[in-house]
Amino acid sequence: MLDEYFQQWVLHPDVKNTWFWEKWMQEHPEKRAVVQSAVDLIRSIHFEQYTLSATEKAVLWDNIWEQMAAGEDTSPAASPRVARGWLRHAWKYAAAVLVIAGLTSLWLIQQHYRFEPRSWSAATRLGEVKRAWLPDSSLVIMNAGSRLLYTEKENQVREVWLDGEAYFHVRHTGGNNRFIVHTYDKLSVEVLGTQFNVNSFGDKTTVVLEKGEISLEVPSPRSQKETRLFLQPGEMVSYNKTDGSFAKTNAAVERLTAWTNGRLLMDNYTLADAASLMLQLFGKKLVVADSQLLRYQVSGSMPLSYNADTMMTQFGRVFGVQHHQKNETIYIRKGK
């Protein structure tokens, strides 16, 4: 019940949180009754606005003044009428004193406030995907074989170093704190309240924007200057780590981020694409003896499993091939 992501699913369900919690319940069927009780309890909590009419407010204040006046000095020297009249205006002075005291306290707190650096790190093993909340409450989904380091070394600047692939849903802060993602090929992505995917596996780094706006600083191996690019939703930048070339194109965002929902969307997908995926997720190398098999293309959708044997079984059915594994190498041959 106290999990914020669980509360969000109950009160504001969407595709991603629904997929996450349904999958979680499939993996923990013994918890269904507990989950349902938590859902019912969260939905039973309601807050209603209660307001008083002008007449009711006047009656309430009169009762308050009378009760307060009743506790004052009632000797002949003190007139109840005078005491009540003073009390009617006393709250104004008290409120002014409280406001001044509050502002003074706020000023003192700000004067004594000292920024404290903080850091957070996480990693995923091969064949593992992880969902986590960063210290600033931004959501990150890390794909298999990835490493991430989050730091706040200076006030109003959040920085992430990523090796691998991750999907970010960045939380917008009241102070418009910068959020920068660095990859180890020196490409930097600066964002503010947005959703995007970064993949630095292999010889290319790709950045895909789903929502919001981001700017990229693309390094140039031939000079010390960097090229700044701006992305709009539905656009992608692909950076070649070898020669430093890059290109900005329109992107099939749903296909490139489908892994966060446990799906593999294939559009003219080849065995070469499957080989890249198996190497990224499981560190398995695919060897295809018949080069003609590499030209075969398929389109469609299938579940994304973080089990190497399950994925190869699915690829075998899709491409009509057979496979056998020796150590970390998987050999592919044409099916019978």
More confident residue, 69 or 118: 118
pLDDT at 49: 46
More confident residue, 175 or 316: 316
Contact predicate 80/74, CB 8 Å: yes
Mean pLDDT of 276-294: 91
pTM tops 0.75: no
Which range among 14-18, 102-106, 148-152 shows the weakest confidence by mean pLDDT?
A: 102-106
Mean pLDDT of 41-61: 64
Using only C-alpha atoms, what is the Rg of the chain?
30
Mean pLDDT of 265-285: 94
Question: What is the spatial distance between Cα 301 and Cα 299, in angstroms, rounded to a whole number?
Answer: 7
Point out which residues pair with 324 in neighbouring strands: 331
Which range among 44-53, 228-237, 251-260 shows the weakest confidence by mean pLDDT?
A: 44-53
Alpha helices, H only, 140-260: 253-256
Contact predicate 306/281, CB 8 Å: yes
Residue 210 one-letter amino acid: E
pLDDT at 234: 95
pLDDT at 236: 96
| Nearest in space to 318 (alpha carbons), one of 296, 333, 295 | 296
Question: What is the spatial distance between Cα 164 and Cα 146, in angstroms, rounded to a whole number?
Answer: 4
CA 70 to mean position of chain CA atoms: 58
pLDDT of 103 > 80? The answer is no
| Nearest in space to 141 (alpha carbons), one of 316, 23, 294, 7 | 23
Question: What is the spatial distance between Cα 164 and Cα 143, in angstroms, rounded to a whole number?
Answer: 7
pLDDT at 25: 85
pLDDT of 269 > 70? The answer is yes
More confident residue, 294 or 188: 188
Point out which residues pair with 157 in neighbouring strands: 154, 178
Alpha helices, H only, 28-79: 32-44, 54-70
Question: What is the spatial distance between Cα 124 and Cα 246, in angstroms, rounded to a whole number?
Answer: 28
More confident residue, 264 or 100: 264
pLDDT of 55 > 80? The answer is no
Residue 250 CB neighbour total at 10 angstroms: 9
